[in-house]
Amino acid sequence: MIKKVVLSFILVLAQVTMASQGTRTKALPKDGDVEGWIKHRTLQHYAGKDLYEYINGGAEIYHEYGFVQVVVQDYVNDSGKSVSVEIFEMVSPSSAYGMYTFKTDSKGKRILVGSEAQLADYYMNFWKGPFLVTLTGFDETEETRQGLLNISEYISSKMPGGRDKPRIVSFLPKEDLVDQSLKYFTGYLGLRNSHPFFS
């Protein structure tokens, strides 16, 4: 009986993992899905502690917020412009939202993509459901910035998830709230990085 229960749990876990992987990879544009942009280089995948191999010195904060796994895919267009896409799966929508607030600030431009999005210089971040998506364009030309927008809109359209933020956020007074200034922390590391006086 115990063996059957354990086996059933393993099968359910495997099905959940496969479904999650499907969401991430299906959200990535194939050649022709976003006009003018095609895949470049091989898809990369990092899960759990493997994130330290990909992000040198920055993986700890992702784990504090609840990192599960990430896929990375590069794209190029006919002009040689490049965009790198990272889809981070977090343990919950609250975790994805928290990591989004950690990576953005009030200086970026709000964009209507996903649950919330921001464009700043040559990169863009948005979150939707348990996913945080970061797109990096490597230059600030209008062509690259438009590529960031088009690719992000495609990815968002393929992702499930609503716009609900953590419930605690709703208790903040909305009057005079500085747009995009809110930070949602789940641990000491994020708090210390944003507010050094807590060190």
Using alpha carbons, select from 87, 55, 77 the residue that is nearest to residue 137.
77
Whole-structure pTM value: 0.83
Tokens, residue 152: 């992000």
Instruction: Summarize pLDDT for 69-111 with one digit per residue, the tens.
Output: 999 999 999 999 999 999 999 999 999 999 999 999 888 999 9
Strands (DSSP E) contained in 58-163 are 67-77, 82-90, 109-111, 116-120, 123-128, 131-136
CA 44, CA 38: separation in Å to the nearest integer?
Answer: 16
Residue 77's region, left for phi above 0, alpha for psi from -120 to 50, else beta, is beta
DSSP state of 10: H
* Strand pairing report for 67-77 and 37-47: antiparallel
Q: What digits encode the pLDDT tens for the residues 129-163? A: 999 999 999 999 999 999 999 999 999 999 988 76
Q: Are 107 and 80 in contact (CB under 8 A)?
A: no
| Domain boundaries, given as residue ranges, for the chain | 25-198
b (16+ CB within 10 A) / e for 131-157: bbbbbbbeeeeeebbebbbbbbbbbbe
- Dihedral (C-alpha) 44, 121, 52, 38: value to the nearest 10 degrees? 0
Give me 6's structure tokens.
């354990």
- Span 16-59, pLDDT tens digits: 444 455 566 889 999 999 999 999 999 999 999 999 999 988 99
Instruction: Tell me whether strands 131-136 and 82-90 are parallel, antiparallel or unpaired.
Output: antiparallel
Q: Are 139 and 146 within 8 A, CB to CB?
A: no
Q: What pLDDT score was predicted for residue 12?
A: 43
pLDDT at site 183: 85
